[in-house]
Amino acid sequence: MLKVKYDRVNYDGIKLARDKKALEHNSAYELLYKMLEELFGIRNPKILKTHNGKPYIEIDGIHFSISHTDGLVVCAVSDSPVGVDAERLSRRTDIRIDSFSKRYFTENEQSYLASSEDKRLAFYKIWCGKEATIKKLGGTIAYLKRIDTTEENFQYIYMDDYVICIKN
């Protein structure tokens, strides 16, 4: 069982970036609480964190992952470990994409990126795959170079100017 929901965040009247991030964070958890109540009748679950900071609840068979980015929140709930990441497709230049990918992407990923017609979309698919995998496993960004998204299976949702990646 895998359920994914996403929602837009309304920034009306909010100007500071830190306040927008706080609103996104809170909105993501509100979406999680709503899903847990709808799917399992769980109200006000106690959210705990692993030593790596991965949030979880102490109920067997219920796993979740949340993500938020620039006006969008996403939550995935599953009966097995799951990771989700969302990114807004920004206007990175090819130079920044190339220098970033050399630092964090595997050789396979760099080849995929170099041969892609839409470098920006390919970059974010890889990046979201890495983040979703880390969230699923509970790792840290130190694992980025070890994750080869060309050898993994992911589910993608494309919405307006966003890419959402689910690793189940």
CA-CA distance, 147 to 36, in Å (whole number)?
30
Question: Could you tell me the domains of the chain?
Answer: 2-80 (3.90.470.20), 87-167 (no CATH)
**pLDDT, greater one: 86 or 94:** 86
- Note the pLDDT of residue 51: 85
Q: Dihedral, CA atoms, 128, 130, 131, 135, nearest 10 degrees?
A: 130
pLDDT-based confidence at 145, cuts 50/70/90?
Answer: confident
> What's the Cα-to-Cα distance from 106 to each of 61, 68, 70, 149, 161, rounded to whole Å?
33, 25, 27, 9, 26
- Note the pLDDT of residue 152: 81
Q: Which residues pair with 2 in a beta bridge?
A: 78
- Note the pLDDT of residue 126: 94
CA-CA distance, 52 to 34, in Å (whole number)?
25
Q: Dump pLDDT digits (tens) for 15-60.
A: 898 999 999 999 999 999 999 999 999 998 999 998 888 899 988 8
CA-CA distance, 93 to 151, in Å (whole number)?
26
pLDDT above 70 for 164: yes
- Note the pLDDT of residue 74: 98
Amino acid at the residue 80: S
Average pLDDT of the residues of the chain: 91
- Note the pLDDT of residue 92: 67
- Note the pLDDT of residue 13: 87
pLDDT above 70 for 86: yes
Task: List, as own/partner pairs, every contact residues 147-150 make where C-beta atoms lie below 8 angstroms and the sequence separation is at least 24, other chains included.
Answer: 147/106, 148/106, 148/108, 148/109, 149/109, 149/125, 150/106, 150/108, 150/109, 150/112
What residues contact 21, with CB distance under 8 A and at least 6 apart? 68
Q: Dump pLDDT digits (tens) for 90-144.
A: 766 767 888 888 889 999 999 999 999 998 999 999 999 999 999 998 877 777 8
CA-CA distance, 3 to 155, in Å (whole number)?
12
The predicted model scores a pTM of 0.90
- Note the pLDDT of residue 132: 95
**pLDDT, greater one: 82 or 14:** 82
